A and B are shown apart, each in its own frame.
Chain A
Amino acid sequence: MTTTKNWPLWEVFVRSKNGLEHRHFGSLHAADADMALENARDVYTRRNEGVSIWVVESKNITASNPEHNGEMFEPAKDKVYRHPTFYELPDEVEYM
């Protein structure tokens, strides 16, 4: 096992036939983007799973830190006016 360089890791995103957006499907190793795309087609779309594939080399992805989830994602409780239910409507208005 003396292979000088290991193939980099790629993340695979697939948009399904009726899908509105690309979804993360998994990852794979490939020497370059073209090979990553070919392998992603074979591995992740064997059963009509999708119509469009994106591959991104993993090192290009920056992820948020779970330790900061509080300040990052907690909705501001004092901003209730962001929700439609904050606004009062006369009862006569049936659909809005």
Chain B
Amino acid sequence: MSEEQIRNLEKQFEERIARDEKIEPKDWMPEKYRQTHIRQMSQHAHSEVVGMLPEGNWITRAPSLRRKVALLAKVQDEAGHGLYLYSATETLGITREEMYEQLHTGKAKYSSIFNYPTVTWADMGAIGWLVDGAAIINQVPLCSTSFGPYARAMVRVCKEESFHQRQGYEIMIKLANGTLEQKEMAQDALNRWWWPSLMMLGPTDAESVHTEQSMKWKLKRKSNDELRQQFIDQTVPQADLIGLTIPDPDLKWNEERGSYDFGEIDWDEFWQVVKGHGPMNKERMKARVGAWERGEWVRDAAMAHAEKKAERKEKEAV
């Protein structure tokens, strides 16, 4: 294709996006659009899959059967979300095996939040309430993003995330209204998960390298800082309501802005975690790669059995 033809196609492409038309897998798209989507969507899929580990940690120790079945259902949903997202990413011409390879070798990232340990039961509450809350803020605008398969996957994901957030907040309510020990446990979980949750919304606008292009492609509708502010403004009253304190001495209602002012985020910590030096990075990857390697013979057995069945069917047909 000549350069002029490509420019022409790019122009038509940008116009389609401006008209809010969905881009579908067989449509022409700029290589950079394809690559950016593979990066973001696979990272999203990886986050769902790795995100099963911190919560999976508490399944066997959930304090009641009601909490246990809810946690099981939530982790099952996350497996499903990973699957929707991997499938949607595959429509861009990358195989799932390639994506796993990228995850397992550290070439592809996943959400920094899952590199924090879950040390008490209250962490299940904090994750549902804060982590899934921040995820919803990120994901709702993605339901109308320009790439059709991503937008459709997000519609399904968002419907289910709402259950996750509510079950988490309910855990926090119960603990916050419980015994002194339970309340302390809830407060301790909030103290540990608050800042990492704010970091989930990404680097500040000034530091975010992909924002401008992503806005153009409607992969993003609001900037990281706007989304973070929205998250804080809606979460602080929820903490107040159950008598927990946000661990930020600089947090203050700003009458003029109609928003909360808040303290400085520790961006050094954020970059450390993103670069693989968070508290649980190594363990998370060890668990993933281990499951993949130890499961190899099972995958091979399933395939061999499927082939044998297909052969038998063919013979019977003859």
User: B24 touching A66 by the CB < 8 A rule?
Assistant: yes
Residues in chain A near residue B287, CB distance under 8 A: none
**Distance, CA A9 to CA B96, complexed state (A):** 10
Instruction: Tell me the count of chain A residues lying within 8 A, CB to CB, of chain B.
Output: 24
**Distance, CA A35 to CA B80, complexed state (A):** 15
Knowing A1-B104, A6-B97, the reply to whether A43 touches B80 (Cβ < 8 A) is yes
**Distance, CA A3 to CA B301, complexed state (A):** 10
Question: Which of B24, B84, B152, B153: most chain A CB closer than 10 A?
Answer: B84
Q: Which B residues from 263 to 318 make CB contacts under 8 A with A?
A: 292-293, 296, 299-300, 302-303, 305-306, 309-310
From the candidates B152, B156, B300, name the one contacting A5 in the complex (CB within 8 A): B300
**Distance, CA A31 to CA B83, complexed state (A):** 15
User: A29 touching B26 by the CB < 8 A rule?
Assistant: no
Is A65 positioned at the interface, with any CB of B under 8 Å from its CB?
yes
Residues in chain A near residue B292, CB distance under 8 A: 1
User: A6 touching B83 by the CB < 8 A rule?
Assistant: no
Knowing A1-B101, A63-B26, the reply to whether A7 touches B299 (Cβ < 8 A) is yes
Summarize A's interface: helix, strand, loop or mixed: loop
User: A35 touching B87 by the CB < 8 A rule?
Assistant: no
Residues in chain B near residue A67, CB distance under 8 A: 28
Interface residues of A (CB under 8 A from B): 1-7, 9, 26-29, 31-32, 35, 42-44, 46-47, 63, 65-67
Q: List 22 A-B pairs, Cβ < 8 Å.
A: A1-B97, A1-B296, A2-B296, A3-B97, A5-B303, A7-B303, A26-B83, A26-B84, A26-B152, A26-B153, A27-B87, A27-B90, A31-B302, A31-B303, A31-B305, A32-B302, A32-B310, A42-B80, A46-B76, A46-B80, A63-B26, A66-B24
